[in-house]
Amino acid sequence: MRYGRSQLGPKYTHDQAYPLTSNAGLPSYAFLNATRQSHSTHAIMDFTAGRDVGLGLFDSGKSTIHFGVRAAQLNENAKGHLSAFSTAPQKYSASKIVHKADALFARSFTGAGPSVSWDEMTPLMGSPDDEVTFDWGANAAILMGRQKARISLHTADNRYAGKY
C-alpha cells in the first residue's frame, strides 16, 4: 500500500502599476491581488501473487512475475481568489473598475483493475552467501473506475463613475 499527500499554498500574488501614464500624460492606477491553494491525496493498494520463473538475464539471476489487482483513490481540492482594480483618467470619462473572481475545484478518481509486474535480481559480485546484487523491476496496471469533478466559478465586475 502507498499513501501520499501534497499541499500548495496559500500562495499570494500582488501586482501593481502605479501610476500608469497615458499618451495624454494623464495618470491611471491598477493593481491585482490573487491567492491560490490546493491539497491532494492518493492511496494505491496492490494485491499480487508471484512465482519465480527462472528467466534471469544471467545464469545466476532470479526473476519473478507477479499477477494481481491494483486499486487507487485520487483526490484534489483547489481554490483561488482574484481581486483587480483599475482606474481611467478624466480624459476617458473617469471611472474605477473592480473585478472579482472566486473558483473552487474538487476532483476525485476511484478505480481498480488488473496488474502485472516483473522483478529481477542480478548478482554483480561475491559468492551466493555474501553477494552484491542489482535489483530492478517493471510493472503495469489498467485502472477502470469513476471520475468526479465539481467546479464552481463566480465572477463580478463593477464600474463606478466619478473622480478617483
Query: 27-36, 41-50, 78-87, 135-144: which range is least confident on average?
Result: 27-36
Kind plus residue range of the DSSP H or E element containing 81: strand 62-88
pLDDT tens track for 46-86: 999 988 776 655 556 778 889 999 999 999 999 999 888 87
Which pLDDT belongs to residue 88? 66
Given a cut of 50, whether residue 93 has pLDDT beyond it is yes
Query: 31-35, 66-70, 93-97: which range is least confident on average?
Result: 93-97
Give the list of residues 6+ apart from residue 34 with CB closer than 8 angstroms, or none: 12, 13, 80, 81, 82, 83
pTM: 0.65
Residue with cell 496559500: 10
Given a cut of 60, whether residue 163 has pLDDT beyond it is no
Give me the percent of the chain exceeding a pLDDT of 70.
Answer: 80
Which pLDDT belongs to residue 90? 59
Q: Of 82 and 19, which is predicted with more confidence? A: 82
Among 30, 163, 31, 28, smallest CA distance to 88 is for 28
Please state the rounded mean pLDDT for residues 128-140.
84
Give me the percent of the chain exceeding a pLDDT of 90.
Answer: 44
Given a cut of 80, whether residue 116 has pLDDT beyond it is yes
Residue with cell 472579482: 100
Which pLDDT belongs to residue 164? 46
